[in-house]
Chain A
Amino acid sequence: MLHEWVDHGLRIAVLAVDPSSPRSGGALLGDRVRMRIVDDADRKDSVYVRSVATRKTSGSVPLVVREMAFCLLHVGWDKVVIETVGAGQSEVRCAAVADRIVLVEGPARGDGVQAEKAGLLELADAVIVNKSDLDGAQRHADELRESLHLGHEDAPDVLLVSALHGTGVAEASSMLLTLEQSTRAGRARWRERLLSHHERQLLEHSKFDTLLSSIEEGLMSFDDAYAQLRNGNE
């Protein structure tokens, strides 16, 4: 898709998020490995890829990504693509940072009931079923369409794509460029934004790490530590 957009004259920045270790705080950021467009001499100046670790935040996208995206748009990049960490059903934090949400699914994600469950699917502005070359992709797309149409008048498009063979990529790329922001994420978007700001405030508390160690070592009760955090920085 980056190839398509660049060939249409767009300059695209990609913020690729990978998880930080909850144990060591470190991260292995490997999203560049497969984005070989940065090696393409003719196109690389139109693409910027930056790997981002989630650091201490919960959810699939840290709040700082929103600020990074604004910064990139401000210095002249046309579009910013945020690639989240692999997201589960209930992972809706991306609504806090992104204007449009594209859910990428694959075939063989369980039975038809999966498509009926609540969660991220309800907030998607578009759904792409990748690996359409594999068995079950068409059926999964049909199930998703059926489920989405039950819920809304303006159900998001469900597109079949095979990144391996390149089928459907051009259609998906142009569809995303004209994608309207749906209204259904409105309230959820503000909710997630409030939650992530609150979380950031807790994480930025000067004593966060000290309190964490105190709980771990049994020097302080959980409730006392939480109360101190809530009181804010002295």
Chain B
Amino acid sequence: MDQPLRIVIAKPGLDGHDRGAKVVARALRDAGHEVIYTGLRRTPEQIIETVRDEDAILLGLSSLSGAHGHLFPRICETLREHDMGDVIVFGGGIIPEDDWPPLFAAGVRALFGPGTTSEEMVEFIATAVKRDDAGVGHGAGWHWNQSA
């Protein structure tokens, strides 16, 4: 295993369920990465401060509340404003497919819904860190094509 990657798993907004986020954190841990979990109900600013202080290269956002359309792009924008365009953002939870295009356009590189295998997430991460256009600073562009 190469150097472990530092990944922040965050729960933005008001929803209070983090079983999914914890399962993802655990799966990424078992894949050899160092996962920093933020806990529930974080604001975009708090999440960005965590990514900065922890020097993370990937940020996974989990949302089940329906507020992803507002929160995810706001987090992407704030990362760019703070010169953290190299951070790779991905998301998951309950996110209807109709909502995907604007999130990809905002710089989110993958969206994983229920039924996603941990292998697929790990594969996405391995692929994304090898690309030079995966950081949120590159805006719309490449994104992971879901197998499911």
A55 at the interface (CB under 8 A from B): yes
Q: Mark A1-38, 1 if CB is under 8 A from B, else 0.
A: 00000000000000000001101111111101110001
B36 at the interface (CB under 8 A from A): yes
A49 at the interface (CB under 8 A from B): yes
Q: By the criterion of a CB under 8 Å from any partner CB, how many residues of chain A are at the interface?
A: 22
Chain A positions 48-82 with a Cβ under 8 Å from a chain B Cβ: 48-51, 53, 55
Q: Provided the pairs A48-B53, A50-B54, A51-B54 are in contact, do residues A33 and B37 lie with their beta carbons within 8 angstroms?
A: yes
The answer to whether B34 and A53 touch across the interface, beta carbons within 8 angstroms, is yes
The answer to whether A32 and B34 touch across the interface, beta carbons within 8 angstroms, is no
- Report A-chain residues with C-beta under 8 Å of the C-beta of B46: 38-39
Q: Provided the pairs A29-B36, A33-B37, A33-B39 are in contact, do residues A24 and B31 lie with their beta carbons within 8 angstroms?
A: yes
- Report B-chain residues with C-beta under 8 Å of the C-beta of A26: 4, 28-35
> CB < 8 Å: which of B4, B31, B38, B53 contacts A53?
B4
The answer to whether A24 and B39 touch across the interface, beta carbons within 8 angstroms, is no
The answer to whether B32 and A25 touch across the interface, beta carbons within 8 angstroms, is yes
The chain B residue with its CB closest to the CB of A38 is B49
- Report A-chain residues with C-beta under 8 Å of the C-beta of B37: 28-30, 32-33
The answer to whether A24 and B36 touch across the interface, beta carbons within 8 angstroms, is no
Q: Provided the pairs A20-B34, A26-B34, A29-B35 are in contact, do residues A49 and B53 lie with their beta carbons within 8 angstroms?
A: yes
Find the residue from B4, B25, B50 having the highest chain A CB count within 10 A: B4
- Report B-chain residues with C-beta under 8 Å of the C-beta of A55: 4
Chain B contact residues, majority secondary structure: mixed
- Report A-chain residues with C-beta under 8 Å of the C-beta of B1: 24-25
B138 at the interface (CB under 8 A from A): no
- Report B-chain residues with C-beta under 8 Å of the C-beta of A30: 36-37
B80 at the interface (CB under 8 A from A): no
The chain A residue with its CB closest to the CB of B41 is A39
The chain A residue with its CB closest to the CB of B50 is A32
- How many of chain B's residues touch chain A, expressed as a range? 20 to 34
A43 at the interface (CB under 8 A from B): no
Q: Mark B122-134, 1 if CB is under 8 A from A, else 0.
A: 0000000000000
Q: Provided the pairs A32-B50, A39-B46 are in contact, do residues A24 and B35 lie with their beta carbons within 8 angstroms?
A: no
The answer to whether B35 and A28 touch across the interface, beta carbons within 8 angstroms, is yes
- Report A-chain residues with C-beta under 8 Å of the C-beta of B50: 32, 38
A53 to B54, CA, bound (A): 11
Q: Provided the pairs A26-B31, A51-B54 are in contact, do residues A32 and B4 lie with their beta carbons within 8 angstroms?
A: no
B26 at the interface (CB under 8 A from A): yes
- Report B-chain residues with C-beta under 8 Å of the C-beta of A49: 53
The chain B residue with its CB closest to the CB of A27 is B34
Known: A51-B54, A53-B34. 6 other contacts (CB 8 A): A20-B34, A25-B1, A25-B4, A26-B30, A29-B34, A49-B53
Q: What would be 7 A-B contacts, judged by CB atoms less than 8 Å apart?
A: A21-B32, A24-B30, A26-B29, A26-B32, A26-B33, A30-B36, A53-B4
- Taking Cβ atoms with an 8 Å cutoff, the residues of B that contact A are 1, 4, 25-26, 28-39, 46, 49-50, 53-55
